[in-house]
A and B are shown apart, each in its own frame.
Chain A
């Protein structure tokens, strides 16, 4: 069995302690949370680590999923759907035990979801808040790795690993997420486009730590995710996330994020441009798919041919847009998750 080379081990007791350790121990020090990105690399000796800083004890600070008003954004006077969250809504415990704002059924509030970087995949999968506001998360989590890995791996670990086939990067890009990075000098917030710099490279500096992911919430939106792999739990051949916002039957905004189609998970602004102001239709989804296929740069590898991946980019863009639109329209019939475990075949 492959085993890591020797290293020294420290346990961080707080975020600031972790940052202090990173600064003191230098470039060959790495943070470890779930470990399911880093440890396999260390076992295969593809990465050398002299100091490992265990941040699992920081879960008490950094494992949460919360909906909050976004202080940076003005409170809207009322959405065009005619529904809005009332101020001062109750706080309730979510399934993961974190504090959460409760939401009325079907209402996407105006605000921000804040996800601690040490939130585990399983918690994201089981979160009621995310299921209601950002179904893309539960759809993606269901096809990330497997249940045992999801019990340990964290969103922070996944994003910081920055594998070009990694699904949560595509999810966060689709949702126009921001990443909160803390360093010795304080905190800074960067967009996903700034955060993800290329394969295995992020904006997090050697003495910094990702501590939170923020998802902006706007009324009238929903999202979806779909992945094609050779087998359950496989890295994606292609996977795609889509988010749309509707008002008066027209798309006000749309975002698409693809994984495994090139060195960068791309947000494809051209898709948003093509969809804004348009009424949803199959022709429109096909147009968006064609744009997505055009803008990605897949390579032929063991998972599939570049041509096939390009085709998948188009196909999955169509499907996720279709589903996201159906959800945003409140059309439950079409909004079923096709990848949910089901005993019966889906006609």
Chain B
């Protein structure tokens, strides 16, 4: 494809393909190291969309980022949490005497003490009986983001290893750590539930006796059931005798987002003003403020939540953690600022994990490869408390909406059963787009299994079933709508970049020599940008986000947004959005985020919603200002507003370009004395954007692997990723998001799992055991894009942040299974460690029906 100019919003650029690929060691002549090989001209200072370096980089490059642990306040104290060593145990006795006697310790708090605290808006009440969460509000318990409660500090029992039991506050962090060892806790161990498949056994140990005591019916460890689709229609298809059916069990193991910066909070309660300021590693400051208000009894106007620079979020920093509440309580009790920042063990063992879906997928197709139905049964391990961060009406996230994938499948049904186990709570995190990672993994693996069964090339099978451009907007078998897509073009581009036919020829040659090369494809469809508030709320907060824009008398602008960057570059991309609408240079547009006192209300950043929701709000606010500016320009030029034409940055009278007034001149006029009487002084707009629908980014990924036949080590040789996220505001940033997601996929597919032993001990409590890909495990990525704008988004943009994390794991697993085809391997569960790959090779080879190598 040929070079394209800088992209603008609008349908005229739909269907364009931008090839931007980097091959290891294959740079064309004339390109030096570090040069980008791509077709778009690099404009270092676009006024609007385009590649530009980030405005926020300066502080990070110079070591002047302001992360949570960098915060130092006068009188700051340090909080450390004592955590349970056991997965399931009754608390018999806690003796804090020795800890309290430590000369540097200011405070020691247990669950019993929190249970006597109804909130932070009144003095503690005296009581000799710890209360339960169901007796009325007390701070030993807190509501989760799902419809459940979670212990802040354990009172009766501990329910997972690493659960919070007590905390100390000391004058420095080393003393706080020392003091933890002086707290004496006596536990009575209880048998744990570790295997989710055993959670519903009649004799399974009861984890949530608190719920049972409050009257919860059904099996004690049952959390919820959820279904979507038409079971009867699907059953009818599977009952036909002219279809091929494939059934495959597959586990998406428990993994963890592991941002490089752990979670933490600095709480500062002012006893004079009765106000609470909380610096917190939160991806959603406003939502947190509302939830802290509910929890503490303080009204929102007396709480300020500040997200400083955040060192990665990936969904790990969405929930409210007990540590945040502990810091607030401690500050309230002591009248001094208190900092809590967790170490890596605490982060891995107790904060929001991801996935842990045990799935059985079934797919039915005609013999010539037309997919007719898909059925999924899921057992979901939610840990000891249901704390998934999902819109309230979707306890299983968006799994049920998108598990038919990118294909035209007429019948679909899924059933999800969620259970409690003695593990940390969580489940929705690690760039999952609310369980879409699980759904995409299921359908993409099923399609490959079907291809193997039908002896069809997996690309060919996909070709026969991919949605066609004319089918959009497309309504899935479970009633969800995909907004736009030209899947064939994206597939074509991926195949071209990979030179797919040549790869298959190479594979045949290598196979003949006994080498194991694999090619894996994944074609995923996302559903992001949550979402329309009548359908989507979190804890009763509708998922609309606001933006507030002002243009100052000197022509610079300030945009205030409710979303929260954790590395996605919002200070640049949002400035570019406004720049595109108003023609003000991004350098002159300041983006304000992260402080509830300085930004409008919204639900924050996760689920790839920033561009989709806040980006729309920002663009529409800018367009409102442009319309006001038109009115002002008309007054300045003494013409009718209808006689004016806009070229980016200025209005001029139609037919007379010399008559232009710039946005800067208009801004000056807006604050001046000559503004017409019917117009308000100033130039500002604020609006909350309630998305009409979700957006559907999609993409096609191709992964090439080589497996050492002797050691079973998998090496990712190439990763080709063609993404379509609609309008691309800053392609450089888009590519960076894709690179991250592809790396996530390699981590999950090859080396990551939060594993437990039979006693519920977490075996992944450090980075020695929970492995993160290094620069040696990932190739240089080859990325490209197609552009199919969203028809309902003001910019045509769809969001990109999670696409690659969603689409890459099945591409890698498909590649490994493809490589092992000579052994007759059908499926291997992640992580595909060398040991597991070798086991699959040898077990399959040992089966009598294995085809010849």
Residues of chain A touching chain B, judged by Cβ–Cβ distance below 8 Å, are: 1-3, 5-6, 45, 146, 228, 230-235, 237, 302-305, 307-309, 311-312, 315-316, 318-319, 341, 343-345
Contact = CB atoms under 8 A, between A and B. Distances in A.
Given A231-B751, A237-B835, A312-B711, A302 B177 contact: no
Nearest to B770: A302
B835 A315 contact: no
A345 B23 CA distance: 13
A233 B774 contact: yes
B25 A315 contact: no
Given A315-B711, A345-B717, A231 B838 contact: no
B835 A308 contact: yes
9 contacts: A6-B178, A45-B181, A231-B774, A233-B774, A235-B768, A305-B835, A309-B835, A315-B710, A315-B711
B11 interface: no
A341 B777 CA distance: 12
Q: Is the interface of A mostly helix, strand, loop or mixed?
A: loop
Chain B contact residues: helix, strand, loop or mixed = loop
A86 B466 CA distance: 75
Given A5-B178, A228-B713, A315-B711, A308 B839 contact: yes
Contacts of A315: 710-711
B771 A319 contact: no
A45 B181 CA distance: 11
Contact of B771 (A45, A231, A307, A309): A231
B343 interface: yes
A231 B773 contact: yes
With most chain A CB atoms within 10 A of its CB, the pick from B174, B835, B838 is: B835
A228 B711 contact: yes
B345 interface: yes
Given A302-B763, A305-B839, A232 B833 contact: no
Contacts of B177: 2-3
A45 B85 CA distance: 15
Contacts of A234: 768, 771
A323 B712 CA distance: 19
B173 interface: yes
Interface in B763-798: 763, 768-769, 771, 773-774, 776-777
Interface string B327-352: 00000000000000001110000000
B706 interface: yes
Interface residues of B, number: 33
Interface string B307-340: 0000000000000000000000000000000000
B810 to A, nearest CB: 21
B833 to A, nearest CB: 5
Nearest to B717: A345
A232 B343 contact: no
A274 B24 CA distance: 44
Interface string B521-542: 0000000000000000000000
B410 interface: no
Given A302-B763, A343-B24, A230 B834 contact: yes
Interface in B164-192: 173-174, 177-178, 181
Given A232-B776, A235-B768, A345-B717, 13 more contacts: A1-B173, A2-B345, A3-B174, A45-B181, A146-B774, A228-B713, A230-B751, A230-B771, A230-B833, A307-B839, A308-B712, A316-B711, A341-B776
Given A232-B776, A312-B711, A302 B755 contact: yes
A3 B178 CA distance: 9
A235 B769 CA distance: 10
A277 to B, nearest CB: 27
Contacts of B712: 308
Contacts of B715: 345
Q: Which 8 pairs from chain A and chain B are nearest by CB?
A: A304-B835, A232-B776, A308-B835, A315-B710, A231-B771, A1-B343, A232-B774, A308-B838
